[in-house]
Amino acid sequence: MAKLRNTLSPQIKTLSVFFSLLAATFPSLSSATSATDAFVYGGCSQQKYSPASAYESNLNSLLTSLVNSATYSSYNNFTIMGSSSSDTARGLFQCRGDLSMPDCATCVARAVSQVSPLCPSTCGGALQLSGCYIKYDNITFLGQEDKTVVLKKCGPSEGYNTDGIGRRDAVLTGLLNGGGYFRAGGSGDVQGMGQCVGDLTVSECQDCLGTAIGRLKSDCGTAVFGDMFLAKCYARYSTDGGQYNAKSHKYKTNYGGERTFAIIIGLLAAVVLLIIFLLFLRGVCSRGGK
């Protein structure tokens, strides 16, 4: 194996490094494929912190606390105090209510590992995977209700089907009346799910879910599936003809940033193919000149 590595050209070595950096920068391409690890949305604040700053140290402590706490709890929040408000790191994690503790811990650890390349050196970041959610910032957000629409996704329409719409609405009504922070139910081929972040009060949770469910009905109409993620809660439904789609798509965060991961991934793939093609041409020209 040593001889094989020594015969690699500098161009191939460079390409190998490029692939390594690509995998490290976008881990969701290779690893976020399970039912709990699938990427849903993410966002970052505009404010950045300086390397080796007090806030970076406090943020690292906060993220470690999130990962450790997820081994025995499905929700928790932490505040790592700094000498000033801007140096204070605040954060939380929330696992989907039907996850086991091992799956919760694995999901939160995965989310923490992915948020750093997603939000390099930013004071605030949020990442929603299919099975868990994490958020951190140096501004106060814990215990504050926020019904900002973070992500809306509606599937293709199945046309106006009175029975199908009736079952969908019945499931969503059941979620609204279900009580608790995590709610799930179904009727026939329709399944629904809703959850609030644990820092809301019971009445705030009910209000948030009411808004999310109302937006699902009005915005997604006759779609075979729908996702409505607000900043502090979400509601989703799916039929046998559709499914929760957590792959790359446009998202808008409450930080005001709008990105399209599908476009980014496509551009990166095009760059990789171009590099391979140029290396191939160079090899052909080199052999032809000898």
The amino acid at 254: N
User: What are the boundaries of each domain within the chain?
Assistant: 39-137, 149-239
CATH homologous superfamily of domain 149-239? Gnk2 domain, C-X8-C-X2-C motif (3.30.430.20)
What does the pLDDT profile of the chain (290 residues) look like in tens digits? 333 333 333 433 333 333 333 333 333 333 334 578 899 999 999 999 999 999 999 999 999 999 999 999 999 999 999 999 999 999 999 999 999 999 999 999 999 999 999 999 999 999 999 999 999 999 999 999 999 999 999 999 877 677 888 889 999 999 999 889 999 999 888 999 999 999 999 999 999 999 999 999 999 988 999 999 999 999 999 987 455 443 333 333 334 333 333 333 344 445 555 666 566 566 656 655 55
Predicted pLDDT at 34: 59
Predicted pLDDT at 270: 53
What residues contact residue 160 under an 8 Å CB cut-off, 6+ apart? 222
The amino acid at 30: S
Are 149 and 42 contacting, i.e. CB atoms less than 8 angstroms apart?
A: no
CATH homologous superfamily of domain 39-137? Gnk2 domain, C-X8-C-X2-C motif (3.30.430.20)
- Angle at which helix 10-25 crosses helix 261-289, to 10 degrees, equals 170
Are 113 and 67 contacting, i.e. CB atoms less than 8 angstroms apart?
A: no
Are 54 and 83 contacting, i.e. CB atoms less than 8 angstroms apart?
A: yes
Predicted pLDDT at 27: 39
Nearest to 225 by CA among 250, 260, 190: 190
The secondary element (H helix, E strand) that includes residue 235 is strand 233-239
Same fold? 39-137, 149-239: yes
Q: How far apart are CA 150 and CA 229, in angstroms?
A: 6
Predicted pLDDT at 267: 46
Predicted pLDDT at 256: 39
Predicted pLDDT at 143: 92
pLDDT in tens, 228-243: 999 999 999 998 745 5
Other CB atoms within 10 A of residue 36 CB:
20
